[in-house]
């Protein structure tokens, strides 16, 4: 147990459920951070809905590192995309980038200049390390926007949007350094090597959103990272500058348990609060940022660097030199395989991310992206001890043992969700709060029948969403149909009324003529009178 100090304390609250899988973290956290040699070719996916005008580069153009590839008209909801390294645009084409849909995505292919050594690539410092204190909040957010920073814990949500919606709304910045999934160690190594920079990033973020507290949430399996972070905080507190922020900065240590690093779970662990249904952390005056994101913010604000690389854990039993590497976005996995001497014949499936929430890919040509925090190369992804091979195509049936329910961090009843998903009872599923499932996979992990529960939930969620769209469409169609019916009926009645009116008018006119000869007479008299008047006027 790590000793409590002024800065360090242990989490007072806990989350329900959770699991304790074997960590496998020591495979990759023994070596210091290194730079991965640059790849020959980078694949940079861009949105599929762009017009030609929005491309700032075309095939054959030279690009420099950090050059913007797209013109997005300063739209604050867009995400800037840059060339990670200097080179030449080879093509703009559809490529398999490992999208979960399996569909190829429009990508810019850059042939890099091999002569350059990546580690020396540093754009000039635009701002002195402390100069940011004088910048306005809007300027800071604009810089973060221009740098293309996203949440690097996995969700890849644009950071500037998250910051923008939190400005002056939050009092607490929670830094997510939990890293609760097995195998992944990039946040651990980042904190061990760069906690000052991460802290600086946290200070910048706190200034932007107006936070009064910074809480670092970290699991107790990273004692070295905790010490480094503590030193950085002590150092900051002991060297008061003129622009010193008066903040309470603390490290809160939680017992290692998966999935403590989920955003909502972390908030619950550190504050005892639950983000209400359909609300956001900002509604609790909280913003959560991952350490890698804060490092990127510091790099952008203090060193003027664009986000072009990230720290990636390369691990697994096939990797000769497992560790954490700075890797340019868009680097194909094949380059990692060849550079790190991974026995490629044995690579069958690669996991991007962790083994509990990651994604499996089999194509080595797909690129790394901003959210790629870990790549696992195992001979057999299930071969490691404690991990059994899932060779069976059919799982055995659920016996409602309830192991899943004790593992669920959200207090759902996975066994019931499974039952209703399988029988496609959508309404019952919503009643069972299916949409509160965070898909952490703890239920599948402990299932004695080895049911791929999360698969069932994903299927049910997408079916329900699809049905809702369909329902909305048919409701709209119904409204349109009803409106059309009303309109037609109205036109019909209007036409009928009009017809009746004219008919009546005509009828009354003829009636007048027939029944009232005096009318005729009076008309003649009136005419005569008019003639008479005219004559009198003339005379």
User: Which residues partner with 177 through β-bridges?
Assistant: 218
Binding mask 200-239 for another protein (x = CB under 8 A): -------------x-x------------------------
Site for another protein in 418-477 (CB under 8 A): 432-433, 436, 439, 441, 444-450, 452, 454-455, 458
- Nearest of 405, 413, 403, 406 to residue 434 by alpha carbon: 413
The H or E element that residue 431 is part of is: helix 426-431
- Nearest of 261, 312, 440, 272 to residue 33 by alpha carbon: 312
276 binds another protein (CB under 8 A): yes
CB of 283 or CB of 494, closer to another protein = 283
401 binds another protein (CB under 8 A): yes
CB of 217 to another protein, least distance (A): 11
The H or E element that residue 233 is part of is: helix 223-238
CB of 344 to another protein, least distance (A): 19
Secondary structure (DSSP) of 163-202 = HHHHTTT-SEEEEEE---SSS--HHHHHHHHHHHHHHHHH
CB of 70 or CB of 443, closer to another protein = 443
CB of 173 to another protein, least distance (A): 12
SS3 430: helix
CB of 66 or CB of 217, closer to another protein = 217
Other C-beta atoms closer than 10 Å to the C-beta of 237 total 13
Site for another protein in 335-394 (CB under 8 A): 349, 351, 353, 355-360, 381-382, 386-388, 390
Q: Which long-range contacts (CB under 8 A, 24 or more apart) does 295-299 make?
A: 295/190, 295/194, 295/197, 295/198, 295/201, 296/147, 296/149, 296/152, 296/159, 296/201, 297/144, 297/149, 297/159, 297/201, 297/204, 297/205, 298/197, 298/198, 298/200, 298/201, 298/204, 299/197, 299/201
Query: Which residue in 121, 179, 299, 403 binds another protein (CB under 8 A)?
Result: 403
Binding mask 164-193 for another protein (x = CB under 8 A): --------x---------x-----------
Asked if 412 contacts 442 with a C-beta cutoff of 8 angstroms, the reply is: no
Asked if 419 contacts 461 with a C-beta cutoff of 8 angstroms, the reply is: no
Query: Which residue in 270, 288, 307, 464 binds another protein (CB under 8 A)?
Result: 270
CB of 382 or CB of 466, closer to another protein = 382
The number of residues making up the chain comes to 539
Which one of the spans 77-85, 196-204, 311-319, 402-410 is the region binding another protein (CB under 8 A)? 402-410
The C-alpha angle with vertex 382 and arms to 380 and 386, in degrees rounded to 5, equals 135
Query: Which residue in 105, 284, 364, 379 binds another protein (CB under 8 A)?
Result: 284
SS3 68: strand
CB of 377 to another protein, least distance (A): 13
CB of 108 or CB of 174, closer to another protein = 174
259 binds another protein (CB under 8 A): no
Site for another protein in 44-103 (CB under 8 A): none
Q: What distance in Å separates the CA atoms of residue 233 and residue 478, rounded to the nearest whole number? A: 62
Size of the site for another protein (CB under 8 A): 66
CB of 79 or CB of 356, closer to another protein = 356
CB of 248 to another protein, least distance (A): 9
* Strand stretches in 280-383, DSSP E: 286-290, 309-315, 323-328, 350-352, 359-361, 374-377
Question: Which positions lie near another protein, rule CB under 8 A?
Answer: 21-22, 172, 182, 213, 215, 252, 264, 268, 270-277, 279, 284, 349, 351, 353, 355-360, 381-382, 386-388, 390, 396-403, 405, 409-413, 415-416, 432-433, 436, 439, 441, 444-450, 452, 454-455, 458
């Amino acid at each position: 147990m790590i000793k409590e100090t002024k800065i360090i304390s242990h989490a007072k609250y806990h989350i329900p459920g959770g699991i304790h899988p074997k960590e496998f973290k020591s495979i990759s956290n023994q070596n210091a951070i290194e730079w991965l040699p640059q790849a020959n070719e980078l694949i940079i996916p861009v949105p599929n809905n762009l017009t030609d005008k929005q491309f700032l580069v075309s095939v054959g153009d030279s690009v420099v590192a950090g050059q913007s590839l797209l013109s997005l008209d300063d739209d604050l909801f867009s995400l800037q995309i840059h060339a990670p390294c200097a080179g030449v645009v080879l093509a703009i084409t559809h490529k398999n980038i490992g999208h979960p849909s399996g569909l190829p995505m429009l990508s810019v292919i850059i042939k890099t200049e091999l002569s350059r050594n990546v580690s020396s690539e540093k754009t000039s410092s635009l701002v002195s390390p402390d100069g940011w204190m004088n910048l306005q909040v809007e300027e800071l957010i604009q810089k973060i926007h221009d740098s293309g920073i996203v949440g690097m814990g996995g969700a890849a949500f644009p950071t500037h949007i998250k910051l923008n919606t939190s400005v002056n709304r939050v009092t607490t910045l929670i830094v997510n350094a939990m890293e609760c999934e097995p195998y992944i160690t990039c946040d651990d190594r980042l904190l061990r090597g760069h906690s000052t920079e991460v802290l600086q990033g946290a200070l910048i973020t706190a200034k932007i959103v107006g936070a009064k507290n910074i809480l670092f949430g970290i699991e107790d399996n990273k004692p070295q990272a905790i010490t480094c972070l503590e030193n950085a905080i002590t150092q900051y507190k002991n060297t008061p500058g003129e622009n010193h922020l008066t903040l309470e900065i603390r490290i809160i240590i939680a017992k290692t348990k998966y999935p403590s690093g989920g955003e909502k779970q972390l908030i619950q662990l550190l504050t005892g609060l639950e983000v209400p249904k359909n609300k956001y952390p900002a509604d609790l005056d909280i913003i959560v940022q991952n350490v890698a994101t804060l490092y990127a913010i510091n790099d952008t604000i203090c060193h003027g660097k664009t986000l072009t690389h990230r720290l990636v854990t390369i691990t697994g039993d096939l990797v000769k030199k497992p560790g954490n590497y700075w890797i340019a976005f868009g680097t194909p996995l094949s380059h990692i395989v060849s550079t790190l001497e991974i026995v490629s014949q044995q690579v069958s499936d690669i996991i991007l991310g962790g083994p509990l929430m990651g994604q499996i890919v089999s194509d080595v040509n797909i690129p790394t992206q901003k959210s790629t925090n870990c790549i696992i190369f195992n001979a057999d992804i299930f071969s490691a001890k404690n991990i059994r091979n899932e060779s069976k195509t059919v799982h055995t049936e659920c016996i409602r043992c309830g192991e899943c329910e004790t593992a669920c961090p959200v207090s759902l009843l996975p066994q019931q969700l499974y039952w209703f998903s399988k029988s496609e009872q959508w309404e019952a599923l919503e009643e069972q709060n299916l949409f509160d499932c965070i898909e952490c996979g703890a239920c599948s992990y402990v299932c004695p029948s080895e049911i791929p529960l999360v698969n069932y939930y994903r299927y049910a969620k997408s079916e329900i969403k699809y049905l809702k769209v369909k329902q909305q469409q048919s409701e709209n169609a119904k409204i349109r149909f009803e409106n059309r019916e009303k309109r037609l009926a109205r036109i019909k009645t209007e036409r009928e009324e009009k017809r009746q009116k004219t008919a009546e008018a005509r009828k009354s006119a003829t009636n007048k003529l027939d029944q009232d000869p005096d009318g005729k007479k009076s008309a003649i008299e009136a005419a005569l009178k008019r003639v008479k008047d005219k004559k009198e006027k003339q005379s």
